[in-house]
Amino acid sequence: NAGVTQTPKFRILKIGQSMTLQCAQDMNHNYMYWYRQDPGMGLKLIYYSVGAGITDKGEVPNGYNVSRSTTEDFPLRLELAAPSQTSVYFCASSYQTGDGYTFGSGTRLTVV
Amino acid sequence: AQSVTQLDSQVPVFEEAPVELRCNYSSSVSVYLFWYVQYPNQGLQLLLKYLSGSTLVKGINGFEAEFNKSQTSFHLRKPSVHISDTAEYFCAGLFLKTSYDKVIFGPGTSLSVIP
């Protein structure tokens, strides 16, 4: 049982480059989320999805885009990387409201 | 507005001693509460959750937490810690009936267990 799988684990980007962070879950969870974690700040929600074809913005969506074409996959797109996007990114999923989240192991992104 | 506060950013404790990690929340709507643990270079794992019912909730690894509505608190406790409990601990609140069922994470408490 893989749970939530994130790739890549590490990435260095130059300012202005773009990339996609991949997230896949094999638990048939309806809800999926992208968070970023910055030191001393906890986790901030970037985007979330309540099911295939449905996505919405969280607290800090600027500079990011998402899509959810299948239940399993929820990729996060960075179009024009900026140093402020240096962070650790976590994907999470849950079956329904009130369930705890299952987190992936994270992607550490550095923008230089 | 809803918020989750963890006043202690770092908590050092000797091995086999008890520990309490504090969490307070502010909310005008119903709330579910969670504690997560994050070991170095890993994602977060769910320790325990409170949805309703008994205010004392037991979780994995010997942790427990007590929901106190009057004090708007959800403190995490363990009677005897081990070296392996060294990690970052996050309290989170799921605030119901907001624009979406919104989860807010506290800033985290770093627990260091001293041999």
Whether residue B45 and residue A103 make contact (CB cut-off 8 A), yes or no, is: yes
Quickly state the pLDDT bin for B103 (edges 50, 70, 90). confident
Arithmetic mean of pLDDT over chain A: 94
In this prediction, residue B99 carries a pLDDT of: 60
Residue B53: half-sphere exposure toward Cβ, Cα within 13 Å: 5
Chain B CB within 8 Å of residue A96 CB: no
In this prediction, residue B96 carries a pLDDT of 84
Angle (nearest 5°) at CA B33 between B29 and B35: 155
Check whether A109 has a pLDDT greater than 90.
yes
pLDDT, mean of residues B80-99: 90
Query: What confidence tier does B100 reach under pLDDT thresholds 50, 70, 90?
Result: low
pLDDT recorded at residue B1 = 81
Looking at the partner chain, which of B32, B43, B51 has a beta carbon nearest the beta carbon of A90?
A: B43
Q: What is the pLDDT of residue B92?
A: 96
Inter-chain contact A100–B46, Cβ cutoff 8 Å?
yes
- Residue B111 above 80 pLDDT? yes
pLDDT digits (tens, 9 = 90+) for A31-72: 999 999 998 788 999 999 999 999 999 999 999 999 999 999
The rounded distance, in Å, linking the Cα atoms of B97 and B115 is 45
| The pLDDT of residue A52 | 94
**A5 contacts on B by Cβ (under 8 Å):** none
- Predicted confidence (pLDDT) per residue in B50-62, tens digit: 999 899 999 999 9
Identify all chain A residues contacting B102, using CB atoms and an 8 Å cutoff: 45
- Taking an 8 Å cut-off on Cβ atoms, the answer to whether B43 and A43 are in contact is no
Task: Please name the residue of chain B whose CA is at the shortest distance from the CA of residue A56.
Answer: B100
Q: A-chain residues within 8 Å CB-CB of B89?
A: none
pLDDT band at B98, cuts 50/70/90? low
Q: Is the pLDDT of residue A1 over 70?
A: no
Q: Which of A38, A60, A97 to mutate to test the interface with B (most CBs of B within 10 A)?
A: A97
A30 neighbors A22 (Cβ within 8 angstroms): no
Assign B8 a pLDDT band (cuts: 50, 70, 90): very high
For B69, counting Cβ atoms within 10 Å of its Cβ (0-12 exposed, 13-18 middle, 19+ buried), the class is exposed
